[in-house]
Amino acid sequence: MKAEKEAPSISRITSQVLMLVCLGSFNSIGALAVNITVPNTLIRGTAGGEALLSVSYSSSSLDLPVIKWQLEREKSVTVVQSIGTDIIGTLRPEYRDRILVFENGTLLLHNLRLSDDGTYDVEISITDDTFPGEGTITLTVDESISRPYIHMEALSVLELSENVVLNCSHDNGTRTAYRWSKGGKPLTNVTRFMLSPDQKFLTITRVLMADDDIYSCTVENPVGSMTSLPIRLTVYRRSSLYIILSTGGIFLLISLVTVCACWTPSKKQRRQRSKHLSTFYDHLDQSPFSQTADVLPKRKEHNGINAVTSLYILQQKDPSMDDSSSNSIGSPELENPPCYTSSPDHSLTPSNGSPACSSHRCP
């Protein structure tokens, strides 16, 4: 019985000794490792500004730590490596004059660029410690948003007209999100208000009088937000009189076009127009239908008396005068031109009467 009682006590003592040994080994391992603390794993920066990737470490060693920062890409890119605050080697061109390392391992980036956006891994190791410490920080870099503005093709529309599109535009800004307001309140009615997938465009279908209001849009990104100046959309009521007038105007226009296309001048109007043109050309002495040849009288001496030849007037028939052609052929005035007699004072006197003149023969 005594031997049976002593056996469990020996086994229990053995297990306690093994437990103490294990605890001692764990404590020694912990003392040989660097522990890193990351207060904030997400840092938001603005292009042109600064970003502080803050970390801290603890170690039982008093030696200077070796700090290494890397930017995760398809292939990791070494940003900086230092012993304490002294940078080792040569920095990459894109990081020169933009890097500062603190004693606790914190990294400060100046003059941020959009290419600095990404995930940064930090590793701190000390010679006397067996295991280095590791940490990860995500940095986002965005452009500040310029004041947005709303663009519309027309500021006033007619009720029940076609779709009206409002475009929220801005010059700068990355990773932007959009929100629309009507009358100072967020848009909640989505039955007639359609938003594009990125919510940059607002489309109002079948505009109603209730849509006559003030609209504005807000653009926001991780570094800030801006709201546009409000813009008013004016809606005019469509009345029955407007519909009648518009329909009647279209019908009247079609009628006028049809009449003008079908109208042609009559034969009588063409004849009168030709007669007016002939009279006009005769008046200017430039008519292509009539030509006159004036033969000025010439003096001839016959038996000591100055004789004057007759004046001939030749006239060609106007082809436009079709109706009066028969009458003009038998006219005695055209068959017998006027005769002139000479007098001692060399004046010409027209002679009336028969075709044969009494004093002188007509030429």
Q: Are residues 171 and 79 in the same domain?
A: no
> Once rounded to an integer, what is the mean pLDDT over residues 242-252?
62
> Which has more confidence, 235 or 191?
235
Question: Is residue 46 included in any domain, yes or no?
Answer: yes
Quote the pLDDT of residue 249.
65
Quote the pLDDT of residue 225.
93
CB 83 within 8 A of CB 63: no
Quote the pLDDT of residue 137.
96
Q: Are residues 68 and 123 in the same domain?
A: yes
Quote the pLDDT of residue 61.
82
Quote the pLDDT of residue 80.
95
**Rounded to whole angstroms, how far apart are CA atoms 124 and 144?**
34
Q: Is the pLDDT confidence value at 264 over 70?
A: no
Q: Which pLDDT band holds residue 158 (cuts at 50, 70, 90)? A: confident
Considering only CA atoms, which of 267, 276, 274, 285 is closest in space to residue 320? 274
Q: Are residues 116 and 47 in the same domain?
A: yes
Supply angle C-alpha 122, 126, 127, rounded to 5: 140
Q: Are residues 40 and 138 in the same domain?
A: yes
**Rounded to whole angstroms, how far apart are CA atoms 223 and 45?**
7
Considering only CA atoms, which of 239, 156, 160, 151 is closest in space to residue 201? 151
Question: Is residue 325 included in any domain, yes or no?
Answer: no
Question: Is residue 90 included in any domain, yes or no?
Answer: yes
Mean of the per-residue pLDDT values of the chain = 74
Domain containing 124: what range?
35-142
Question: Is residue 249 included in any domain, yes or no?
Answer: no
Domain boundary among 142, 175, 200: 142
Q: Are residues 137 and 39 in the same domain?
A: yes
Q: How far is CA 94 from the centre of its chain?
A: 36
CB 201 within 8 A of CB 215: no
Measure the CA dihedral 163/169/175/179, to 10°.
Answer: -50
Q: Are residues 51 and 79 in the same domain?
A: yes
Q: Is the pLDDT confidence value at 101 over 50?
A: yes
Long-range residue pairs from 278-282, CB within 8 A, at least 24 positions apart, any chain: 278/318, 278/320, 278/321
Q: Are residues 74 and 54 in the same domain?
A: yes
Q: Which pLDDT band holds residue 9 (cuts at 50, 70, 90)? A: low
Residues 273-324: pLDDT tens digits? Answer: 666 666 655 655 544 444 444 444 444 444 444 444 444 444 444 444 444 4
Q: Which pLDDT band holds residue 257 (cuts at 50, 70, 90)? A: confident
**Rounded to whole angstroms, how far apart are CA atoms 54 and 108?**
8
Q: Are residues 183 and 207 in the same domain?
A: yes
Q: How many CB atoms lie within 10 A of CB 86?
A: 8
Q: Which pLDDT band holds residue 190 (cuts at 50, 70, 90)? A: low
CB 25 within 8 A of CB 1: no
Q: Are residues 306 and 344 in the same domain?
A: yes
Work out how many domains the chain is built from and give that number.
3
Question: Is residue 263 included in any domain, yes or no?
Answer: no
Considering only CA atoms, which of 166, 176, 171 is closest in space to residue 223? 176
> Which has more confidence, 174 or 246?
174
Considering only CA atoms, which of 108, 104, 22, 25 is closest in space to residue 59? 104
Q: Are residues 65 and 104 in the same domain?
A: yes
Considering only CA atoms, which of 34, 197, 37, 209 is closest in space to residue 131? 34
Residues 24-55: pLDDT tens digits? Answer: 443 444 456 889 999 999 999 999 999 999 99
**At residue 22, what is the residue type?**
C
Q: Is the pLDDT confidence value at 187 over 60?
A: yes
Question: Is residue 124 included in any domain, yes or no?
Answer: yes
Candidate from 37-41, 59-63, 85-89 with smallest mean pLDDT? 59-63
Q: Which pLDDT band holds residue 162 (cuts at 50, 70, 90)? A: confident
> Once rounded to an integer, what is the mean pLDDT over residues 220-238?
91
Q: Is the pLDDT confidence value at 94 over 70?
A: yes
User: What tokens were used for 289?
Assistant: 């239908």
CATH (domain of 165): 2.60.40.10
Element (H, E) at 37: strand 35-37
Q: Are residues 42 and 138 in the same domain?
A: yes
Q: Are residues 48 and 136 in the same domain?
A: yes
**Rounded to whole angstroms, how far apart are CA atoms 325 and 62?**
136
Give percent above pLDDT 70 in the chain: 59
Q: How far is CA 253 from the centre of its chain?
A: 34
Question: Is residue 108 included in any domain, yes or no?
Answer: yes
Domain boundary among 142, 158, 186: 142
Question: Is residue 282 included in any domain, yes or no?
Answer: no
Considering only CA atoms, which of 170, 89, 220 is closest in space to residue 79? 89
Domain boundary among 84, 111, 142: 142
Look up residue 96 and give its DSSP letter. Answer: T
